[in-house]
Amino acid sequence: MLRRRPTVRRPEIIMSTWQQHALSNTAHNNSNQSINNHNVNHRSSSVETSDSLGDINHTSSLSGDFGNLFNQSDYSDIELIVESERFYAHRIILAARSDYFRALLFGGLRESQNDNRTIEIKECKSAAFKILLEYIYTAQINLLKEKEEILLDLLGLVHQYGFQQLENSLSSYLKSILSLKNVCTIYDTACLFNLKNLKQHSAQFIDNNADEIIKTNEFVSLSSVS
C-alpha cells in the first residue's frame, strides 16, 4: 500500500502572524516615507518657485486704490477751490506727490494750519486743475481727448507745481501735434515757461513753414516775449 506524501507548504507563502504584521508595518512606513519625500520635494519646489518669483509688483492695484479716492469726500481733510469749483483732496497724498503742495500744506504757511480745511487756488483754470489732480491720484492722463487750450493751461500748472516727468510727457505730445494753426500758441507757451526743448522744436517748425505761418492770425498775435 502506497503511502501518501505529506503536503509541503512553501515557507515564502506561509508566514506567521508576527511576520505579516512586520511586513505590513514596513510597507506602511515605506509608503509614509514616499509621501513625506513627495511633500518635501513639493515644498522645495514651491520655495524655489517663490524665490524665482521674488519680485512682487502690485502697483497697478495700488494705483487703482488711490484713484478711487480722487475727488471723494471720504477721508478728505482738505478742499481746494478753483474758479468756484470745489475739489476734495487729502493733504498727505498731495504732499507726497508735489513739492509745491508739501510746502503749501506742511511748510508753516497759513494754509498749513490744521483747522484750515479750505484753500482757494488762484490764477488757475478748473478744467486743467482737475486733470492735474486726477493725475496726482492715478498717474494717468488721456491727452488725446483733451483740447489743446486745456493742455497748454495744464502745462503751465505742471511747470508751476514741479511735475517734471509730466512736463516732459506733455512737451513731447505737443511737439507731435504741431500744426500751422497751433504752433504759434505752443511756441508762446514754451517761451513763457522757458521750456527749451519745446521752444526749439516749435521755432524750427515755424522756420520750416514760415511762408504759410506769417499769413495766419496766430503769428500776428505772438507775444513780445516770443
The residue whose grid cell reads 515757461 is 193
Average pLDDT over residues 70-94: 93
How confident is residue 61, by pLDDT bands cut at 50, 70 and 90? Answer: confident
Inter-residue contact 89 to 98 (CB < 8 Å): no
Q: What is the pLDDT of residue 144?
A: 95
| pLDDT above 50: residue 47 | no
The residue whose grid cell reads 480722487 is 70
Which of 160, 188, 186, 191 has the alpha carbon at shortest distance from 173?
186
Alpha-carbon distance of 171 to 155, in angstroms, equals 8
pTM for the model stands at: 0.70
| pLDDT above 70: residue 36 | no
Average pLDDT over residues 148-163: 96
Average model confidence (pLDDT) across the chain = 81
**Fold of the domain built from segment(s) 60-140:** Potassium Channel Kv1.1; Chain A (3.30.710)
> Residue 161: CB partners within 8 Å, gap ≥ 6?
98, 99, 100, 101, 132
Q: What letter would DSSP give residue 111? A: G
> Residue 178: CB partners within 8 Å, gap ≥ 6?
186, 201, 202, 205
Inter-residue contact 76 to 89 (CB < 8 Å): yes
| pLDDT above 90: residue 58 | no
**What are the φ and ψ backbone dihedral angles of 181, each rounded to 5 degrees?**
-80, -35
CA angle, 154 then 157 then 163, to 5°:
100
Q: What is the pLDDT of residue 153?
A: 97
**What are the φ and ψ backbone dihedral angles of 27, each rounded to 5 degrees?**
-65, -40
Alpha-carbon distance of 133 to 118, in angstroms, equals 16
Which of 168, 166, 174, 171 has the alpha carbon at shortest distance from 97?
166
